Amino acid sequence: MSLISSIVAIAALAIIVILAYRAVARSNHHTTNGTLTAAGVTIDQLCETVIPEGTPSQMLEYKAMRISFNPEMHIPNYVVWELTRDEANGDMPRSDDFRPDPDVKGCAQLSDYRGSGYQRGHMMPAADAKFDSEAMSESFLLTNMCPQVGALNHGAWKSLEEKCRNWADIDSAIIIVTGPILTDRITDYIGESQVAVPQRFFKVVLSPFSDPPRAIGFIMPNGKVPGGMQAAAVSVDEVEAATGYDFFSALPDDIENEIESQCKFHYWSTLKRE
């Protein structure tokens, strides 16, 4: 083999090793043979959310998030993602390239929001996608948006998003599921597409690698949140009762029952990175 061929072969091997390392760091950073050491289930299993039978849903897989999209309401049923410490501390600039997803039937259009009085409220926030340019761009797809009142979007909702990044930094990774509460009666629609305007939103957060694992939920009205984030804190059980969804069902029953019945906001709010 010539010197040039040897150099090319070594360089190719180095690239393969680097890519493999990055893949492991991204997908298995807390796993042993793909299994969570804390609960004996995979991240993908923990991200599975069971919604009521008959709910219109198209599952969309993006780089950093999974979306159950409701083509009749033109908004997501829910959005779920894992947020790691490294991702929460990314430095990718915000792209602001709001646009519909042309591959998704029933996706809202930019014109639907124009002049509606509602903002394009991210379900997975752009700041959670600062680790990658593709993930950042996809966070601005309208499949990831719901009509939100500005007082919520820039108020308690934003504060909770910031708090979630802090929790990911403290615990190394968390799983977040969020979306509109579609069991409420929809009384307002916007645009030619008739995009549904939710009356309330939910968010549930699971910290599967803490010892012991813990979870918390939040329910916020589509407007100013009296009392802010703390007043909106509830148990995951309460979010399940409001939405009809089943979160984190892959957990062993005893762990699931324990963590989903708790609402320890003061404990979560005072966490610090060791």
Query: For residue 111, what are its two tokens?
Result: 């014109």
So what's the pLDDT on residue 7?
Answer: 46
Residue type present at position 154: H
So what's the pLDDT on residue 2?
Answer: 57
So what's the pLDDT on residue 274?
Answer: 73
- How many angstroms from the chain centroid is the CA of residue 85? 14
So what's the pLDDT on residue 27?
Answer: 40
Count Cβ atoms below 10 Å from residue 29 Cβ, excluding itself.
Answer: 15
Distance, CA of 267 to CA of 259 (rounded, Å) = 13
So what's the pLDDT on residue 273?
Answer: 84
- How many angstroms from the chain centroid is the CA of residue 167? 14
The continuous run of DSSP H or E covering 26 comes out as: helix 3-27
- The ranges of the chain with pLDDT < 50 are 4, 7-35, 37-38
Active-site residue, 122 included: yes
Distance, CA of 118 to CA of 54 (rounded, Å) = 28
Encode 118-156 in three state secondary structure: CEEEECCCHHHHCCCHHHHHHCCEHHHEEEECHHHHCCH
The continuous run of DSSP H or E covering 206 comes out as: strand 200-207
* Pair 182, 199: CB distance under 8 Å: no
In sign, the C-alpha dihedral spanning 57, 58, 61, 65 is: negative
Q: What is the pTM of this model?
A: 0.87
Distance, CA of 177 to CA of 51 (rounded, Å) = 12
Distance, CA of 108 to CA of 6 (rounded, Å) = 53
So what's the pLDDT on residue 178?
Answer: 98
Residue type present at position 182: L
Distance, CA of 28 to CA of 194 (rounded, Å) = 41
So what's the pLDDT on residue 1?
Answer: 53
Q: Cβ contacts of residue 163 below 8 Å, gap of 6+? A: 229, 268, 269
Name the β-bridge partners of 51: none
Sequential DSSP letters for 32-85: ETTEETTTSS-HHHHH-EE--TT---EEEE-SS-EEEEETTTTEEEEEEEEEEH
So what's the pLDDT on residue 40?
Answer: 73
Annotated active-site residue in 30, 74, 122, 154 = 122
